Amino acid sequence: MPSKSPSSAFVLKVPRDPVAPLVFDSPHSGFEFPSDFQPAATRAEIQTTWDAYVDELCGEVTTAGASLLAARFPRAYIDANRSARDIDPAILETAWPGPTELSEHAQRGMGLIRRLALPGVPMYRRKLTVAEVRQRIETSYVPYRRALAEAIESAWQRHGVVWHFNCHSMKSRGNAMNRDQGAARPDFVIGDRGGATAPPQLTAWVAEFFSRRGYRVTINDPYRGADIVKTHGDPARGVYSIQIEINRALYMDEATCVRNSGFAQVRAELAEFACAAAAQVSPLVTRKASL
């Protein structure tokens, strides 16, 4: 499957034909460390922040006509699923010169630039400079977010509707940095920010697709969807954005990050999901490729 716009920040895979109004993205599956990333946390500790192999799990969605965007940089370097203003002052050597909007994630050490790798485990030995953070925003965050916005807009211009699926993995149990600390998590969590980023009927259909295959599925609990779906979801315009969280224990050993026997099944079912979504959205298409 061809890739477009080669970049150190992301890989974009596009379908040959037919092209469906579907965009999948994986902002946290990258694990290429930029040269200026010099964390105090160990690689094993940083791996716990990694949505390992989610880009590979979604690798066959292009056969259904979907585009697939995946980050190459680690979430621990800069988090593409946070607002660019979600800057924790505790990580900085000097005050940020622009406006900031500290989220609850940042308050728990997981903002745009992570303060903690794990509970009680600092990501860095020192404070970062404003110039360092700006460099990360300009070279990694902005290219990824721009590529996603362009993929979604291109699909909308072509079809008059677009279904966007923002894909992640989650620990099988929350830790002390999570609101659901210690709780066993379902197999899939489908998030639409309480119906703000997609029609509840679509969210329910997505949840039902996976529950019919024997998975334990919840909606908006414990994940409602973060900044990417908040930014792009616009149901009134026909842009529907849904976050999908996949329990890591389904497809890998969480301690070693080694794929387990369930990997192939989850990958195949995500491909089936993309095909089912393409069939569902087809009657809603209002524009033709020739326009």
91 lies in some domain:
no
The reported pTM is 0.95
Whether pLDDT at 255 is above 70: yes
Specify if 88 maps to a domain: no
pLDDT given for residue 194 in this prediction: 97
| Residue 5, pLDDT above cutoff 80 | no
Q: In this predicted structure, what is the pLDDT of residue 217?
A: 98
Query: Into how many domains does the chain fold?
Result: 1
Reported as a pLDDT band with limits 50, 70 and 90, residue 6 is: low
The residue type of 196 is: A
Domain membership of residue 258 (yes or no) is yes
Count CB atoms within 10 A of the CB of residue 36.
11
Q: Is residue 217 in a domain?
A: yes
CATH code of 14's domain: 3.40.630.40
d(CA 8, CA 217): 35
Mean pLDDT within 285-289: 60
Q: Are 267 and 59 in contact (CB under 8 A)?
A: yes
pLDDT tier, 235 (very low <50, low <70, confident <90, very high otherwise) = very high
Query: Which helix (H) or strand (E) covers residue 68, if one does?
Result: strand 67-71
The domain containing residue 177 runs over which residues?
3-79+138-284
When the pLDDT of each residue in the chain is averaged and rounded to a whole number, the result is: 94
The Cβ of residue 134 has, within 10 Å, a number of other Cβ atoms equal to: 13
